[in-house]
Amino acid sequence: MKLSVIIPVFNEEKTVEEVIRRVAAVKIKKEIIVVNDGSTDRTKFEIRNLKFENIKLIDKKRNEGKGAAVRDGIKAATGDVIIIQDADLEYDPKEYTLMLEPILTGKADVVFGSRLISSRPHRVLYFWHFAGNAFLTLLTNIITNLNLSDMETCYKAFTKEVANKLDLKENRFGFEPEFTVKVAKAGWRIYEVGISYSGRSYAEGKKINWKDGFRAVWCLFKYA
């Protein structure tokens, strides 16, 4: 089994090098696909200075959003399984084995890494982010008849077969609800596993906001 790790990056000069180092250190056969989504800081220079095997860099001239970056990464992926890795140090690549286990044992086609069903360390931050995620996850479950606990999680692993059939459209953070609705409608086998979470504050560079929440609601109904 070969893993393709897609890392969408936008203005993460402080963290992107460390994220790639952590991904590269995972003892799994893999390729690392870094999609520089039109960064205006030193992100692309930080990436180009790294000397690791099996790294592909997609350097986009303008920012199009996470969803567009993921689509570009999927097109370049040659692995049997794909996992999405944000470049902000909130998620731990050491937990790839947890994410991959249901797929490798033939139980799942798609795996969500839930920040809410785990006994692993979880940084305490914003109540309204928690409430917003809970609302979006509940709405997702009503629409799809799933019983997810964390729809908005970054960590989503899925087979290349799933990726090839999704026909994703959303350019920005609408990727998360679009992906979830489409895998549910297609009848793919979905699992959740508990993961740790080291969330960051807005002062530390967090980007998602309330506008993305409204877009997520719109996407849920659009793709349902």
Q: Which two tokens stand for residue 105?
A: 């044992």
Q: Which two tokens stand for residue 186?
A: 């297609």
Strands (E), the chain: 3-9, 30-37, 55-60, 81-84, 110-114, 156-159, 190-194
pLDDT digits (tens, 9 = 90+) for 145-157: 999 999 999 999 9
pLDDT digits (tens, 9 = 90+) for 135-178: 999 999 999 999 999 999 999 999 999 999 999 999 988 999 99
- CB within 8 Å of 71: residues ≥ 6 apart: 168
153 close to 99: Cβ distance less than 8 angstroms: no
**Tell me, which fold does domain 3-223 have in CATH?**
Spore Coat Polysaccharide Biosynthesis Protein SpsA; Chain A (3.90.550)
Residues 192, 150: Cα–Cα separation, whole Å: 9
Tokens 């609601």 — which residue? 217
139 close to 216: Cβ distance less than 8 angstroms: no
Residue ranges of domains in the chain: 3-223
pLDDT digits (tens, 9 = 90+) for 182-221: 999 999 999 999 999 987 555 655 556 667 778 899 999 9
Which helix (H) or strand (E) element contains residue 27?
A: none
pLDDT digits (tens, 9 = 90+) for 39-79: 999 998 888 888 788 899 999 999 999 999 999 999 999 99
Tokens 């793709």 — which residue? 223
- CB within 8 Å of 69: residues ≥ 6 apart: 6, 8, 9, 10, 35, 37, 58, 60
- CA–centroid distance for 131 within its chain: 20
DSSP 31-65: EEEEEEES-SSSHHHHHHT---TTEEEEEESS---
